[in-house]
Amino acid sequence: MDDMSGPFLVISRHDFRSPRKANMHFITECLAERGTTRFFSFGFSHLSRLKRDPRMTLWDRANVVETFNGVETYLWRTPLHPVNLRRPALQGVEAALFRAYVRLAPQVLKDWIRASSTILVESGFPVIFIRLCATLNPRARIIYIASDGLRTIDCAEFIVREFDQTAHLLHGLRLPSRRLYDEMPNPGAAYVVPHGLDPGLRTNAAPSPYGPGRHAVSVGSMLFDPSFFQIAAAAFPDVTFHVIGGGQAAAGLAAPNVRVLDEMRFADTVPYIRHADFGIAPYTADKVAPYLVDTSMKLMQYGFLGVPAVCPDVVAGDRPGRFGYRPGDGSSITAAVERALAFGHFEGSEALGWREVTDRILSPEKFADTAVFPDG
């Protein structure tokens, strides 16, 4: 098998067919240009209804292989699936449930693992399949695609321990930020490849979706803090705050100048970002991690399009166009919004394209910029 031309397998909580686009979708599209590519999604059951899982629109298309945009996809739906029980006393039960779930893995996943030359495992829940991949196909390269620290995204303790125990099986460990290095249990396999962006974002000519006045936008539900909007909307009644795909945490927002919008296709969010007076990354104070300075996709998109961004201090860093605040602190939120509005649009930052990202993920040794410690 040729590692560079597939077959490739991507294991992710996302579904390739979902309208919400994450880094795994864009990487998968680039893999499909190289060779046979398959995308396995899981952690989907009646419990998913409670969390308003964005994959619910695919409920009737689960448990069958479907080719979508050149990628073979499979969404594994079960009656229930294991979750973080959040009780130390129940960790034994939690571990038993996760192990049973892996044992029930569908035959299609096992067949795809055996047929693959390279397997990309997304950080988080997919960690539970690392051991299965190494057992069924010891010849395959297994590459871990880190997006977040496991504790930052509140993974079950079983997943954290399983990663510690199986990381030695990984052939590559891609970090989107050097700030994640110290969290990795197999640092010798680590290399750095930042998230990418589609260069076409800057040429998107879609008209503004806004009416008169000033407008701000937030996209996505990760670590969503509704208190930001409760404070900012009251402080800036002349600004309309558009919250796209904020999830359950955004459902209760009811200020007259806050618009809560359903999740939409990534392409449809672009004009909301491009034409906003400023963007918002409303991360929760007790969960926001310093590595988000480098990895926050929404902040990258705002910066790339030259839209000033308001975000917690810890993720503002020294990036141009970012204005930090202390979560929950009305005066600092007000000051950050005022500075963003005064700053206005700017030239924008640079970013790798997704093909460049994929090249580095598959062959980090060919690129000097993938070294964790570039100066030796």
| Between residues 228 and 289, the one the model is more confident about | 228
Q: The whole model's pTM is what?
A: 0.89
Query: Pick the catalytic residue: 2, 53, 111, 148?
Result: 148
Mean pLDDT of 281-295: 90
Q: What confidence score (pLDDT) does residue 22 get?
A: 86
Confidence of residue 33 (pLDDT cuts 50, 70, 90): very high
pLDDT for 343-369, tens place per residue?
999 999 999 999 999 999 999 999 999
The answer to whether the CB of 248 falls within 8 A of the CB of 327 is no
Mean pLDDT of 315-336: 96
Tell me the three-class secondary structure of 232-251, residue by residue: HHHHCCCEEEEEECCCHHHC
The dihedral through the CA atoms of 304, 308, 311, 315 has a sign that is positive
pLDDT for 146-158, tens place per residue?
988 898 888 999 9
Q: What confidence score (pLDDT) does residue 3 get?
A: 62
Say whether pLDDT at 185 is over 60.
yes
Is 329 marked active-site?
Answer: no
Supply φ then ψ for residue 236, to 5 degrees.
Answer: -130, 75
Confidence of residue 376 (pLDDT cuts 50, 70, 90): low
Q: What confidence score (pLDDT) does residue 1 get?
A: 45
Say whether pLDDT at 116 is over 60.
yes
Mean pLDDT of 327-342: 98
Say whether pLDDT at 217 is over 90.
yes
pLDDT for 222-277, tens place per residue?
889 999 999 999 999 999 999 999 988 999 999 999 999 998 888 899 999 999 99
Say whether pLDDT at 287 is over 80.
no
Beta partners for residue 258, in sequence order: 241
Q: How many percent of the chain have pLDDT more than 90? A: 84
Confidence of residue 164 (pLDDT cuts 50, 70, 90): very high
Spatial CB neighbours of 200, under 8 Å, sequence gap ≥ 6: none
E-strand ranges in the chain read: 8-12, 37-44, 66-68, 71-77, 118-122, 141-145, 172-175, 190-192, 214-219, 239-244, 258-261, 278-280, 309-312, 322-325
Q: What confidence score (pLDDT) does residue 43 get?
A: 97
**Residue-wise over 85-120: b if at least 16 C-beta within 10 A, else e?**
beeeeeeeebbebbeebeeebeebbeebbeebbbbb
Among candidate residues 41, 22, 25, the one with its CA nearest the CA of residue 112: 41
The dihedral through the CA atoms of 112, 114, 115, 119 has a sign that is positive
pLDDT for 40-78, tens place per residue?
999 999 999 988 788 999 999 999 999 999 999 999 999
Supply φ then ψ for residue 101, to 5 degrees.
Answer: -60, -45
The full set of domains in the chain, from first to last, is 8-196+354-370 (3.40.50.11010), 199-343 (3.40.50.2000)
